[in-house]
């Protein structure tokens, strides 16, 4: 027995641990997959940002392709003699001027300082592709040329130049190239291409961002942010305002546009949100499976426990019944023996013994009836002989039979009704068992003499019969159990009162069989009211005729006639 218990509990705990471990592992795995997916997706998006930067760089640098291999020394002579670049250099510079990213192309010979106002430098006429002298040039040329000049000065003093150009960006304003005479290690002049900032932002960077981060496909937001001035210059999604806390990654443009960088906030993207949907479904299915599995386990366990407790109850019941059966038998045996032996001869003693034998045989009979009822209802073999009856008359008759029995124990029974036309389809024998059980209980569970109230009332759908007592009542926690077989409330009065906890279970079973139901309201130490509900029976007109012809009587509202009619129909 103990071993069985240990095995049962052991297996249950092992299964529980296995289920929970499996579930935890699965959930962990799902989270892990999600994280990997998110990380992979984020890496992909950072690579796209890098690509945007690369494309922008390409757009700026592409026109300068081939500059490194140009023969630049002849520039000085050409400019001095003809005021123009040598042909092969001019071709390349025209190529720069054609790029819409640059708003203008200027050439400053090394000996001229563009920072001195009114200096004469060259500007490339985009239409004729010729250099013209001008003193009208953007002020920032001074900065751009200055940058290259400073750098070239430092580097020329320290190294031998290997490249014939030296490029410097003046932030996002201009791109400056120093032309170097590699033989003399000196600067020839400076080519400055001023950047069309609006074009760069609106026509280059914005389309790039929008193409790579199409807001209809991704929820990630990308901003081109000028951090020095804290302004957003371009974005793929105008609906979402820039918030520095949301930024998860940034990519620089490097030396080219020092103040600018691309910032990204990874909001849910398509594949991650797709995964989220699957993830939620997975979790739900998993949760459901685990819940059903646990439910099944607990159910099996619960039912096993319950079966055990029912078996226990039945064993108790059998012991109880055997004892109860033996008691009247022992009394009858002893009384019978005494009479048979001729030991009791006085007439009054004989009467007393006879009455003992009679009472005990009645008790025995009652108990056997009850056991049979229980057995029948357990096997579902209780038969019902239902026919239309006037409930009022049935109740009245039963009360008349029960009154003297109750009176013997000091109780009176009151009956009131608000209708005497309560037509119901029932088995009258069942109604008798039901009401007798309830009245019996009302008597048993009352401390002293009291009045038991029976009341018949009509409802919209049928009729109620209330059986109200002023007895000990039923504690709230027990109410839900009292209709169960063998259930008895454990209090001192119930302990003293004979019973097996079967009466109410029989009442409930019979009420169901008669298409009604039984409910109870009770207050501890104040009393209980059991309510029986019967659905109304509606007689079909043809049925009335049949009944009338067959029985020669009508189901009328008249109390007397309905009483006769009811008895006749039965």
Bridge partners (DSSP) listed for residue 518: 532
Secondary structure (3-state) at 281: helix
Q: According to the binding rule CB under 6 A, does residue 494 interact with ligand ADP?
A: yes
Closer residue to ligand ADP (CB): 43 or 498: 498
Q: How far is the CB of 325 from ligand ADP (least distance, A)?
A: 15
Please identify, using beta-carbon distances, which residue of 173 and 411 lies nearer to ligand ADP.
411
DSSP string, 110-164: TT--TTSTT--EEEE-TTT--EEEES---TTHHHHHHHHHHHHHHHHHHS---SS
Per CB under 6 A, 114 contacts ligand ADP: no
Q: 10 Å Cβ neighbour count for 400? A: 11
CB closest to ligand ADP, residue no: 499
Compare residues 63 and 501 and give the one whose CB is closer to ligand ADP. Answer: 501
Task: Give the Cα separation of 102 and 126 in Å (integer).
Answer: 11
* Residue 445 sits in the site that holds ligand ADP (CB under 6 A): yes
Out of 218, 237, 528, 562, point to the residue binding ligand ADP (CB under 6 A): 528
Exposure string (b/e) for 288-298, b if CB count within 10 Å is 16 or more? Answer: eebeebeeeee
For residue 172, the tally of other CB atoms under 10 A from its CB is 18
Which CB sits closer to ligand ADP, 95 or 450?
A: 450
Answer yes or no whether residue 500 interacts with ligand ADP by CB under 6 A.
Answer: yes
Q: Binding of ligand ADP at residue 235 (CB under 6 A)?
A: no
Compare residues 165 and 494 and give the one whose CB is closer to ligand ADP: 494
| Smallest separation, CB 375 to ligand ADP (Å) | 16
In the set 193, 367, 425, 442, which binds ligand ADP (CB under 6 A)?
442
Return the number of the residue (205 or 502) whose C-beta is nearest ligand ADP.
Answer: 502
CA separation, residue 39 to residues 25, 45, 216 (Å): 21, 10, 21
**C-beta separation of 503 from 433 below 8 A:** no
How far is 525 from 448, CA to CA, in rounded Å? 12
What is the C-alpha to C-alpha distance for residues 454 and 348, in angstroms, rounded to an integer?
A: 39
* DSSP 3-state of 454: strand
With CB under 6 A as the contact rule, the residue among 504, 511, 532, 555 that binds ligand ADP is 504
Residues 6+ apart with CB under 8 A from 511: 434, 517, 518, 532
| Closer to ligand ADP by Cβ: residue 63 or 473 | 473
CA 70/CA 28 separation, integer angstroms: 62
Choosing from 108, 235, 269, 441, the residue that interacts with ligand ADP (CB under 6 A) is 441
Q: Which residues pair with 102 in a beta bridge?
A: 195
> Contacting ligand ADP (CB under 6 A), which of 63, 146, 328, 503?
503
Distance (Å, rounded) from C-alpha 85 to C-alpha 108?
12
Choice between 218 and 528, CB closer to ligand ADP = 528
SS3 state of residue 464: strand
499 binds ligand ADP (CB under 6 A): yes
**How many Å apart are CA 342 and CA 354, to the nearest integer?**
14
Question: What are the contacts of 408-412 at 24+ separation with CB within 8 A?
Answer: 409/443, 409/449, 410/448, 410/449, 411/442, 411/443, 411/446, 411/449, 411/450, 411/451, 411/452, 412/451, 412/452
Which C-beta is closer to ligand ADP: that of 225 or that of 485?
485
For ligand ADP, the closer of residues 200 and 482 by Cβ is 482
Contact pattern from residue 312 through residue 331 relative to ligand ADP, giving x for each residue in contact according to CB under 6 A and a dash for the rest: --------------------
Residue closer to ligand ADP (CB basis): 221 or 454: 454
Q: Minimum CB separation from ligand ADP for residue 474, in Å? A: 5
The residue range among 82-90, 374-382, 448-456, 499-507 that interacts with ligand ADP, by the rule CB under 6 A, is 499-507
Q: How far is the CB of 442 from ligand ADP (least distance, A)?
A: 5
**Least distance CB 323 / ligand ADP (angstroms):** 15
Lay out the site mask for ligand ADP across 333-352 (x = CB under 6 A, - = otherwise). --------------------
**Interaction with ligand ADP in 460-489: which residues (CB under 6 A)?**
469, 471-474, 482, 487-489
CB burial string 456-489: b at 16+ within 10 A, e below: beeeeebbbbbbbbbbbbbeeebbeebbebbbbb
Which one among 146, 501, 509, 516 touches ligand ADP, defined by CB under 6 A? 501
Cα–Cα distance measured from residue 432 to residue 185, given in angstroms and rounded to the nearest whole number: 128
Per CB under 6 A, does 511 bind ligand ADP? Answer: no
Question: What is the total count of residues that contact ligand ADP (CB under 6 A)?
Answer: 21
Q: Identify the H or E element spanning 1.
A: none
The number of C-alpha atoms within 13 Å of 100 and in the hemisphere containing its C-beta is 7
Contact between 433 and ligand ADP per CB under 6 A: no
Measured over the CA atoms of residue 371, residue 377, residue 382 and residue 384, the dihedral's sign is positive
Letters for 384-423 (x = contact with ligand ADP by CB under 6 A, - = none) are ----------------------------------------
Least distance (Å) from ligand ADP to the CB of residue 511? 13
Least distance (Å) from ligand ADP to the CB of residue 490? 8
d(CA 171, CA 195): 10
Contact between 23 and ligand ADP by CB under 6 A: the answer reads no
Residue 458: name the closest of 507, 421, 415 by CA.
421
**Cβ 417 to ligand ADP, closest distance in Å?**
21
Q: Which is nearer to ligand ADP, 101 or 507 (CB)?
A: 507
At residue 266, the 3 state secondary structure works out as: coil
Q: Which is nearer to ligand ADP, 200 or 472 (CB)?
A: 472
Q: Which residues bind ligand ADP (CB under 6 A)?
A: 441-442, 445, 469, 471-474, 482, 487-489, 494, 499-505, 528
């Amino acid at each position: 027995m103990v071993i069985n218990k240990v095995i049962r509990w052991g297996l249950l705990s092992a299964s529980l641990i296995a289920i929970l471990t499996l579930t935890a592992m699965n959930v962990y795995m799902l989270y892990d997959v999600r994280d990997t997916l998110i990380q992979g997706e984020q890496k992909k998006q950072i690579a796209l940002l890098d690509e945007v930067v690369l494309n922008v760089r390409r757009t700026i640098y592409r026109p300068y392709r081939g500059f490194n291999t140009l023969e630049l020394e002849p520039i000085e002579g050409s400019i001095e003699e003809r005021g123009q670049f040598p042909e092969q250099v001019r071709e390349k510079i025209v190529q720069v001027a054609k790029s819409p990213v640059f708003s203008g192309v200027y050439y400053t010979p090394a000996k001229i300082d563009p920072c001195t106002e009114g200096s004469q430098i060259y500007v490339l006429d985009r239409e004729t592709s010729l250099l013209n002298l001008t003193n009208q040039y953007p002020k920032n040329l001074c900065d751009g040329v200055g940058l290259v000049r400073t750098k070239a000065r430092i580097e020329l003093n320290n190294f031998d130049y290997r490249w014939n150009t030296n490029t410097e960006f003046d932030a996002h304003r201009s791109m400056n190239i120093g032309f170097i005479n590699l033989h003399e290690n000196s600067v020839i002049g400076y080519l400055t291409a001023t950047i069309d900032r609006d074009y760069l932002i609106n026509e280059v960077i914005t389309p790039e961002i929008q193409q790579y981060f199409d807001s209809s496909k991704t929820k990630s937001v990308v901003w081109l942010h000028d951090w020095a001035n804290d302004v957003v210059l371009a974005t793929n999604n105008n609906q979402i305002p820039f918030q520095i806390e949301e930024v998860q990654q940034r990519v620089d443009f490097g030396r080219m546009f020092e103040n600018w960088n691309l910032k990204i906030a990874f909001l849910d993207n398509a594949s991650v949100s797709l995964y989220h949907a699957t993830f939620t479904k997975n979790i739900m299915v998993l949760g459901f499976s685990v819940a059903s599995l646990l439910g099944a386990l607990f159910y099996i366990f619960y039912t096993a426990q319950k079966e055990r407790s029912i078996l226990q109850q039945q064993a108790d019941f059998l012991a109880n019944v055997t004892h109860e059966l033996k008691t009247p038998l022992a009394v009858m045996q002893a009384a019978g023996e005494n009479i048979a032996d001729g030991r009791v001869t006085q007439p009054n003693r004989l009467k007393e013994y006879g009455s003992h034998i009679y009472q005990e045989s009645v008790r025995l009979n009652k108990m056997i009836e009850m056991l049979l009822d229980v057995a029948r209802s357990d096997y579902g073999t209780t038969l019902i002989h239902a026919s239309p009856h006037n409930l009022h008359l049935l109740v009245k008759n039963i009360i008349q039979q029960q009154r003297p029995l109750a009176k013997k124990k000091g109780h009176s029974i009151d009956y009131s009704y608000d209708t005497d036309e309560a037509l119901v389809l029932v088995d009258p024998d069942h109604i008798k068992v039901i009401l007798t059980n309830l009245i019996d209980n009302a008597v048993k569970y009352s401390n002293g003499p009291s009045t038991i109230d029976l009341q018949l009332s009509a409802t919209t759908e049928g009729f109620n019969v209330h059986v109200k007592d002023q007895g000990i009542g039923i504690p709230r926690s027990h109410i839900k159990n009292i209709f169960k077989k063998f259930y008895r409330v454990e209090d001192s009065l119930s302990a003293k009162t004979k019973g097996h906890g079967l009466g109410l279970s029989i009442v409930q079973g019979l009420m169901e069989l008669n298409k009604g139901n039984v409910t109870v309201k009770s207050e501890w130490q104040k009393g209980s009211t059991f309510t029986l509900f019967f659905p109304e029976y509606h007689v079909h007109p043809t049925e009335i005729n049949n009944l009338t012809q067959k029985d020669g009587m009508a189901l009328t509202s008249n109390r007397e006639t309905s009483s006769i009619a009811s008895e006749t129909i039965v």
